Amino acid sequence: MYRTNSSYYFLLIILLIFLGYKSSFAQEEPPSFRIIVTDKDSSFLEQKKIIYNPFYSSEKILQKELHLVKMKLAHQSYLASSIDSIVDTEKGKEVFLHVGESFKWARLERGTVEDVFLDKIGFRERFYSKKPFYYKELLELIESLQVYAENHGYPFVVVGLDSIQIHEDHSISAQLKMDKNLFITYEGVEIIGDDVKVSAKYLQNYLGIKPGAIYNLKQIKEIPNRLREIPFVKKVKSPVVSFRGSKATIHLFLKKKKASKFDFLVGVLPRNEVTGSRVLITVDGMFSAQNLLGGGEKIHLEFRQLRQATQRLDVELAYPYIFGLPFGIDGDFSLYKRDSSYLDLEYDGGVSYLFSAQHYLKIFGHSKSSFLLELDTDPILQSKKLPQNLDTRFTDFGLEHHIENLDYRFNPRKGWRFTTKVAAGFKSVEPNNDIINLVDPSEPTFNFETLYDSLETRSIQYQIDATLQGFIPFYPEARGVIMLSNQTGSIFSNQNIFLNETYRLGGTKILRGFDEESIFASTFSIFTLEYRFLIGTNSYFYLFGDYGFVENKSLDIKSQDDPIGFGAGMTFDTKIGVFGISYAYGKQFDNPIDFRAAKIHFGYINYF
């Protein structure tokens, strides 16, 4: 009984407290006010779309709301508005507002501002002659001048108006005034951090903070984002700018970050019709080391087991800012073995002019040799035709241009990047001894070397490649991103293109949902729509769709297709590395989608 009575009284007390609070809440109504315009139509504020909150909790909040109303009127050229009086009534306060006349510009002259500043922001005096005076427009003009000056060597600039006159017809005349003060250039950067092994020259070039260069406030504000994109350093705290005379020094507080990495990717591709196996396992292993000498240099090795008995080895070396100059060099070696069909050896070398860390132009030279391995001679004996793959040597030279404008290179929310490459060179066809030495028992006099007579043993070949990506913030605003991209490539020549010279599409890097490098094309264009939901700096979920146009015009092959790939995946960053998984389907020609043949890829990147 004691427990029951105690519980009863306890519940009764809680109920009475709740009802008391509810009653007090119901009785408390926030005070309100309404604005009465004394010199205009009663619907004037509504016509001008000036909205205010009629409820206030204190006198301070009321005054703040009335000030906002006057500022909104000022933005619409009513500069002389004032509160005549405030009267208490039974229904709340009544605020009597005098709006006054609208003001206009008589003229706004250039004053002491140099033409170069005004021309850059698009200022014209006729824009401010006999036109309504918009306060917000004036603020934007002053801010534009201020920002332009701060980004062109004048961090202490002061911009305003001078010789202001208000005329009887409510027009305003004034002159622009600019005090530029000191012209500032960079002295350089200072690296503060005991364990940081990176040269100041590298960071000065990468960040664009070169000694003698003009001070740029926008550039300095972008430093934290640019530092995030350097894999081997980490920002400890925000940069500090110090001024001495006409020189500015940027102090960077950095510490070493693990940059060398090992990347391991496994693909599970079920029901492979080419090999006849139920499951095909692909492997992609990568080792990369950066900044071993402190100059931002890069060493990259990658091995890929793409298909059964098919391997690829890539070795890349790159060194930016040679001798502190805006030039970089790079070189590549690639070995590709396509089962027992052929072997490709490729060499690349280039010199880049680095306009900035996000913009370069490269001149390169490229050499590729393709050798047939095991040759099935029966089709050649029967058809008296050359095979689709032939021994070739190709040497070309070209230009590559890259430019990007991203908020964060590795996992952007907004911005774009564009890369294009054009090349032209000479191709030679090398007669294969196994072919020219063939003897057909049914026609022993036939000379198989004559099969090469229909080919130009030396011809000119061209190649164009382009990649465009755009990133657009999307719902939810803080985390959603839409990625739109296109990858296009074409190889063309006045002579035949052989199958072992074409693009190899399909897999995790281009046209997902298909077996690795299972689609051959002389021309292709792949469009991608991808939605990303960001869950961290380098982590996100994604849904994607790939649509492509693929054309193959190699020897004895003429085909076109519009393949489609779609799926989902995620990439997530942990203390021990970055993990990734994707799940994709693909559709070719008129074949239906086989939902039992998904392509699954697992990835892992470890930094050390």
Q: How do 104-109 and 539-552 pair as beta strands? A: unpaired
pLDDT at 273: 54
Angle between helices 59-75 and 135-150 (to 10 degrees): 80
The answer to whether the CB of 34 falls within 8 A of the CB of 62 is no
For 162-190, what is each residue's pLDDT tens digit? 999 999 899 999 999 999 999 999 999 99
> What's the whole-model pTM score?
0.76
Q: How confident is the model at residue 158 (pLDDT cuts 50, 70, 90)?
A: very high
Pairing between strand 503-505 and 458-474?
unpaired
- Phi then psi for residue 181, to 5 deg, are 60, -150
Question: Residue 135's pLDDT is what?
Answer: 87
Average pLDDT for the chain:
88
Pseudo-torsion of CA 566, 410, 506, 606, nearest 10°? -110
The band of 25, judged by pLDDT with boundaries at 50, 70 and 90, is: very low
pLDDT digits (tens, 9 = 90+) for 504-534: 998 888 888 888 888 999 999 999 999 999 9
Q: Is the pLDDT of residue 98 over 90?
A: yes
The pLDDT-based confidence of 278 (bands split at 50, 70, 90) is low
Quick one: pLDDT at residue 270?
A: 66
With a cut of 90, say whether residue 10 has pLDDT above it. Answer: no
Query: What is residue 165's predicted lDDT score, i.e. its pLDDT?
Result: 93
3-class SS at 505? strand
Q: How far is CA 222 from CA 208, 226, 239, 354, 589, in A?
A: 11, 6, 10, 18, 47
Q: What is the pLDDT of residue 284?
A: 80
**210-213 long-range CB contacts below 8 Å, 24 or more apart?**
210/186, 211/185, 211/186, 211/187, 212/185, 212/186, 213/185, 213/186
* d(C-alpha 513, C-alpha 279), whole Å: 15
Q: Which residues pair with 138 in a beta bridge?
A: none
Phi and psi torsions of 124, nearest 5°: -135, 135
Encoded amino acid at 205, one letter = N
CB pairs under 8 A, 24+ apart, for 216-225? 216/151, 216/152, 216/153, 217/147, 217/150, 217/151, 217/155, 218/147, 218/150, 218/151, 219/151, 220/250, 223/250, 223/252, 225/407, 225/408
Q: How many CB atoms lie within 10 A of CB 412?
A: 21
Determine the Cα–Cα distance for residues 540 and 579; give it in Å rounded to an integer: 11
